[in-house]
Amino acid sequence: MNTPSPNEKLAEIGSRYVKRTLGEMPELRRLLDAAVAGDAAAFHQIGRLAHRIHGSGAMFGFSELSDVAGRLEHRVDGSVGPDFQKSLDKVRTDVDDLEKQVHAAATARGV
């Protein structure tokens, strides 16, 4: 049996990563709905999820995924506070973009 090359191993880890991240998208939507309803903790959690994806997507070749997640993270970080709901329209757009990128990554990897 041939030993996988480092790039092959990385691709395998990347496929698992994409599958896991895809599975987190319903939670992201739930957090957004909760933030719209006034839940500041949920708004903060959106930032944490975005931070995780920002710090990892590009490692597996999904640079745009990292960039979009970074944009969402920075928008949430810059909006935390009593007036966080003022940024929700833009946050929603960022979440839509992030979800598109995750689905694109999943399609690319066949997961």
Partner 1 sequence: MNRADLRTILYVDDEPDIREVVELSISLVSNLQVVTCESGKQALGVLPDVRPDLVLLDVMMPDLDGPGTLKAMRANPALGHIPVVFMTAKAMPQEVAKFRELGAVSVIAKPFDPMTLGEQVLKIWETLPDEHTQS
Nearer to partner 1, 48 or 86 (CB): 48
User: Least separation, in Å, of the C-beta of 20 and partner 1?
Assistant: 7
In sequence order, what are the residues at sequence separation of 6 or more whose Cβ sits closer than 8 angstroms to the Cβ of residue 69?
50, 51, 52, 53, 54, 57, 98, 101
Nearer to partner 1, 16 or 30 (CB): 16
Element (H, E) at 16: helix 6-23
Q: How far apart are CA 27 and CA 82, in angstroms?
A: 23
User: Least separation, in Å, of the C-beta of 75 and partner 1?
Assistant: 14
Q: Which amino acid is at 44?
A: H
Q: Which residues bind partner 1 (CB under 8 A)?
A: 6, 9-10, 13, 16-17, 20, 48, 51-52, 54-59, 66, 70, 73
Nearer to partner 1, 53 or 95 (CB): 53
